[in-house]
A and B are shown apart, each in its own frame.
Chain A
Amino acid sequence: MQTKTDQLIYLYALIPTAEFNNAEPSEEPGIDPDEKLSYHEIGPVTAVICPVSSSEFSEDELKKNAENMEWLQEKAFHHHETMNRLNRDFTVIPLKFGTIYETTESLEQALHTKHERLKELFTSLAGKEEWNVKVYADRDTFHQTVLETSPAIEEKNREIENMSKGKQFFERRKLDQFVSEQADREINEKCEALHDRLTGMSSDQEIKKNWDRKVTGRTESMCFNSAYLLDTENAGTLIDAVEAANKAPENAGLTFELTGPWPAYHFSSLE
């Protein structure tokens, strides 16, 4: 047993040792800029780690530091950048930011108990990449789109025209509300339809929480947030599908934003 020191182990990623053996390790900077990335072989799995100081990464310190936007930006970006580099060369199980072990022994123990899951993950992630989609709605523009293109609105208008004059007056006043509800329905339908298409190209998918407008800092509201895992060679089809959604006139007012390729952050749960 190693005694507790002020050093902790920051874990970035797990890669198959078989792949790592074929590659030249590089002298890359760690999340602590005074340290280097190192590759710790544990049988078939190689852990990409960096020693960090408990004065910066202990539970309490990490909690405090994560509220410092500048620190969080720098460290989260380093994590992300390092992962991107690894992801170019290896099949990577990316860990979340702030994954820390007390000692390499405890890391080894933890990985031993996850042996089967790791094998499974390396198989499901090989040759795959992750893409994220976020859909934003400019409601004013989209309401206009619905007014002009929606068959439901057209039908409603016809219904109203066939009514008595008195009834028409009241129904027209309610039309705004109807358009607004119809717009909400169509936004959901369109997001679901795209999601179904993208899911069909993917081996896995996840629907995430929408971000609040205060977080995104945008005037449009986020109405869909999802992640997809798919074969690298399918990425072009996915990009085309999202492009098509953006260009469709009946989607005017909706923005479909695609980012990627990402390491498989959403599909690497060790549980």
Chain B
Amino acid sequence: MQQTRSTPSTPSNRPKTLSDSQPEALKNQDVSLLDILDCVLDKGVVLRGDITISIADIDLVYLDLRILLTSVETLIEASQKDSHDDTNRKMKEAQKL
């Protein structure tokens, strides 16, 4: 049922990246693993080191098990030092007000 911009009229456009374990294969897919992780993980995805994607800070305050995975706020901040990204971050912050 997942659709993308490029093929909005194809209802059978299911995510198909998950059978490939190569991160390279995640590019140019209709719905990538990253899209899925960005939805199903609480705080989205971040990069750790050069290749690994790690769950970011799953915040489950109302649960028995407070599963707090790698805290990555600092990592995210660091990755946004890039001036373009910084501009966008400021814009988003402005929009949140």
Q: What residues make up the interface of A, taking CB atoms closer than 8 Å to B?
A: 8, 58-59, 62-63, 66-67, 69-70, 72-74, 76-77, 79-80, 83-84, 88, 96-103, 106, 110, 114, 132, 137, 139, 184, 187-188, 191-192, 195, 207-212, 214-218, 221, 223-225, 239, 242-243, 246, 256-263, 265-266, 270-271
Contact = CB atoms under 8 A, between A and B. Distances in A.
Given A132-B39, A239-B8, A70 B46 contact: no
By DSSP majority rule, is chain B's interface helix, strand, loop, or mixed? Answer: mixed
Say which size band chain B's interface belongs to.
35 or more
B4 A59 contact: no
Q: Residue among B27, B60, B65 with the most chain A CB within 10 A? A: B65
A101 B4 contact: no
A223 B84 contact: yes
B92 to A, nearest CB: 5
Given A207-B96, A212-B47, A217-B27, A97 B91 contact: no
B45 A96 contact: no
Nearest to B4: A259
30 contacts: A59-B66, A62-B67, A63-B69, A69-B52, A74-B18, A76-B37, A77-B15, A79-B40, A80-B15, A96-B60, A97-B40, A98-B41, A101-B63, A103-B64, A110-B64, A132-B35, A188-B88, A207-B96, A209-B89, A210-B89, A212-B85, A214-B47, A215-B34, A215-B46, A223-B84, A224-B88, A257-B4, A259-B30, A261-B3, A263-B39
